[in-house]
Chains A and B, each alone.
Chain A
Amino acid sequence: MRHLLSVTDLDAAAATALLDTADRLRQALLGREVRKLPTLRGRTVITMFYENSTRTRVSFEVAGKWMSADTVNVSASGSSVAKGESLRDTALTLSAMGGDCLVVRHPASGAAHRLAGWVDKDRASTGTATAIVNAGDGTHEHPTQALLDAATLRDRLGGIAGRRIAIVGDVLHSRVARSNVFLLATLGAEVVLVAPPTLLPVGVEQWPCRVSPELDAELPTLDAVMMLRVQAERMHGAFFPSAREYAVGYGLSEDRAALLPEHAVVLHPGPMVRGMEIAPAVADAPSSAVLAQVRNGVHVRMAVLYHLLAGAPE
């Protein structure tokens, strides 16, 4: 694995290996007085965030620091981006400064693919190898989010193959949904998408999942339900009439959550819009794995950095 751009870079074995590494790293840190492994000492991880995301950026930063990598954060507003420098020049500059890994969050779908193309071309002439990690590109993918969701589901459900998992909400604009549909399917889960037709992508019937218009009908047979973030500006695009109507149709209320089997897990990639997407009591209930997702995020990102930078076996 040279870059992590899409979950489709991973087959079931490679994804499982990453999850296993994440588990081992978590064990290794347990009970340590100093929460730091020497694994990536001397390596430099640069996060390039062209969109605000405290949670993902900090998660990568913590992951790097716990493995003793030097981490540097570049944000769009505080760099030459504001001066109009191209993404290509910024990426090659940071690579030339010795960044072993560039973690990129960008509003354009495919931005991480472009970066990988540029640094690989540069590598041919300079011999400098820079790994690219996609930390969310437009409405395309967010592979480490899907991996941390998979880690959480594996913990809670004891496995992923054969489990039935619903993804609910704005699938159309969601990179989290895309990464999860394809990763969970690779790992053998049965995925169901639940959304109003306006928030489903054209051609979704060719994805490895089922589509259902009716959340209540699905809930009793689910092993997990993943609620997606709904951005308020979608209402102006006439995707749905009002927050109230959305909540009635697709929000995870207490009444709805009661339809879930006892063992079912509730996930949300955050940040949550409480009340509209998910009722506060549901978000804070024992079935909710929201904070476990965040904790697992650090371990999964450690695993990704480890596999990319320390050449762990795939």
Chain B
Amino acid sequence: MTDLVITGARPYGEGEPVDVLVRDGVVAEIGSGLSGSAEVLDAEGLVLLPGFVDLHTHLREPGGEESETIATGSAAAALGGFTAVFAMANTDPVADTDVVALHVRRRGVEVGLVDVHPVGAVTVGLGGTRMAELGTMARSAAQVRMFSDDGHCVHDPLIMRRALEYASALDVVIAQHAEDHRLTAGAQAHEGVVASRLGLAGWPATAEETIVARDCALAREARARLHICHVSSAHTVAVLRAAKAAGVRVTAEVTPHHLLLTDARLTGYDPVNKVNPPLRSAQDAEAMRAALAEGVLDVVATDHAPHAAQYKDTEWDAARPGMLGLQTALSVVVHTMVEPGQLDWRGVARVLSERPAEIGGLPDHGRPIAVGEPATFALVDPDGVWTVRGAQLASRASNTPYEGMRLPATVVATVLRGQITARDGKVRA
């Protein structure tokens, strides 16, 4: 039985349009004039990419359901072209046991719009003092492959060293939220001219750079895999470049907002622009784009962080940090990287799908578009233009910093193992 035929799409935006025949969730044939299927996805003029993988998503469930649930977050992911997301551990309760991790995994399966992979906490309760049961979580049915205390830095160098050493035997990756909290006490914004004038306590870029330098040294000695979350500073890029050249097994992500937005947006004190690490200078944003093109920064990860209105409609200091990202990630990458010619569609596939799937240890995502491979795709209209409206996004919260912005490229459909999960702005019922 034929499941689906995608007609007239250009894989990676290259060459002549082809038809892709999908059977039992797998690509059965690629050619022209393919038909006879139960369902046709007309993809004329569209770019066919492997489904996107987000290494850094906050789905808020359990414990923060007023801001997002696994159901609403999965919908946002599918609409954004994502077929797998890594759900961060800073829920309530914290995902520091196989029980919580399994719950998240199972809720993801029940919703069925995107593969939800729980990230396990590195330390118990994100407390930074006692290692969580990494092995139990890795070996459980939740199959945890990434561990992070994201939101908090694993600050104690001894705990970080032990976690890296311990993780190396499990073939899992430790993802570090690099922030020396002694240097960011009370910090509210990027330490620079804008924050100084606004009277917002500064978050110096050195607080990120120094932890990354330390952890690269620890990972080198432990021969362990280290992943750096949401790199925001040009100086950190220099550290990463040197570490990679020296053979350290380190990878790094950048968020869409650090590619596009800067601290110039802070002058009105609207906390929708408050995020951790903070929006930095225009020079930093430019360095992020160059490093992503160069490959020093491996992937784009959203750091999708929904916050209900009551956590954002406050004075700046009281507002929670974070912004929505799943449904705008592709458009921001196209706007900042593809339009200026710093990435082609192959590059988009690399930073949004292939490399994140490798880092997260997902064998059936980020695969080539070829016969015998999983039919897991994002279909993108490269000529589409849309205006972002927070209230219309699928997330329960609406804290998008791109409100009212016209952005290029739309996700027309998302396909997960042959099943259409989103199409024309609606998720599968």
Contact = CB atoms under 8 A, between A and B. Distances in A.
Interface residues of B, number: 24
B199 A86 contact: no
Nearest to B188: A109
A108 B274 CA distance: 14
Contacts of A108: 315-318
Contacts of A107: 317
Given A114-B269, A139-B201, A203-B193, A109 B317 contact: yes
Given A108-B318, A113-B268, A178-B199, A202 B313 contact: no
B193 A109 contact: no
Interface string A78-93: 0000000011100000
A302 B313 CA distance: 32
Interface in A121-149: 137-141
Contacts of B318: 87, 108
A86 B196 contact: no
B380 interface: no
Contact of B192 (A114, A140, A178, A202): A202
A137 B198 CA distance: 10
A203 B315 contact: no
B196 A202 contact: yes
Given A114-B269, A138-B317, A109 B196 contact: no
A88 B314 contact: yes
A270 interface: no
A299 interface: no
Interface string B191-206: 1111111111110100
A138 B199 contact: yes
A301 interface: no
B315 A114 contact: yes
Interface in B312-331: 313-318
A110 B315 contact: yes
Interface string A190-213: 000000000001111011000000
B201 to A, nearest CB: 7
A257 B197 CA distance: 30
A202 B269 contact: no
Given A109-B269, A113-B268, A139-B201, A203 B313 contact: no
B310 interface: yes
B313 A110 contact: no
Contact of B269 (A88, A110, A203, A206): A110
A175 B191 CA distance: 17
A105 interface: no
A106 interface: yes
Nearest to B186: A237
Contacts of A141: 199
Interface size on A, as a range, is 20 to 34
Contacts of A63: none
A106 B315 contact: yes
Nearest to A50: B315
A111 interface: yes
A109 B199 contact: yes
Contacts of B315: 87, 106, 108, 110-111, 114
A300 B195 CA distance: 28
Contacts of A137: 199
Contacts of B200: 109-110, 138-140
Contact of A139 (B191, B199, B269): B199
A250 B314 CA distance: 38
Interface in A170-222: 175, 178, 201-204, 206-207
A138 B310 CA distance: 21
Nearest to A110: B269
Interface of A: 86-88, 106-111, 113-114, 117, 137-141, 175, 178, 201-204, 206-207
Q: What 3 A-B pairs come out closest when comparing CB atoms?
A: A110-B269, A140-B199, A203-B193
Interface of B: 188, 191-202, 204, 268-270, 310, 313-318
17 contacts: A86-B310, A87-B314, A107-B317, A109-B198, A109-B200, A114-B314, A114-B315, A117-B270, A139-B201, A141-B199, A175-B199, A201-B196, A202-B191, A203-B192, A203-B196, A206-B193, A207-B197
